[in-house]
Chains A and B, each alone.
Chain A
Amino acid sequence: GDSVTQMEGPVTLSEEAFLTINCTYTATGYPSLFWYVQYPGEGLQLLLKATKADDKGSNKGFEATYRKETTSFHLEKGSVQVSDSAVYFCALRGSGGFKTIFGAGTRLFVKA
Chain B
Amino acid sequence: DAGVIQSPRHEVTEMGQEVTLRCKPISGHDYLFWYRQTMMRGLELLIYFNNNVPIDDSGMPEDRFSAKMPNASFSTLKIQPSEPRDSAVYFCASTPAGANTGELFFGEGSRLTVL
Residue numbers of A with Cβ under 8 A of B are: 32, 34, 36, 41-46, 49, 51, 89, 93, 98-105
Contact = CB atoms under 8 A, between A and B. Distances in A.
B95 interface: yes
B102 A51 contact: yes
Question: Main SS of chain A's interface residues?
Answer: strand
Contacts of A36: 104
A10 to B, nearest CB: 12
Question: Main SS of chain B's interface residues?
Answer: strand
A99 B91 contact: no
B11 to A, nearest CB: 15
Contacts, number: 54
Interface stretch (B63-71, B72-80, B105-113): B105-113
Nearest to A31: B102
Given A49-B102, A103-B42, A105-B43, A98 B4 contact: no
B89 to A, nearest CB: 9
Given A42-B108, A42-B109, A46-B104, 12 more contacts: A43-B4, A44-B104, A44-B106, A45-B106, A49-B101, A51-B102, A98-B55, A98-B100, A98-B102, A99-B45, A99-B56, A102-B45
Given A41-B108, A42-B108, A93 B43 contact: no
11 contacts: A42-B109, A43-B4, A43-B107, A43-B108, A46-B103, A89-B43, A98-B97, A98-B100, A98-B102, A102-B43, A104-B42
Contact of A43 (B50, B55, B103, B106): B106
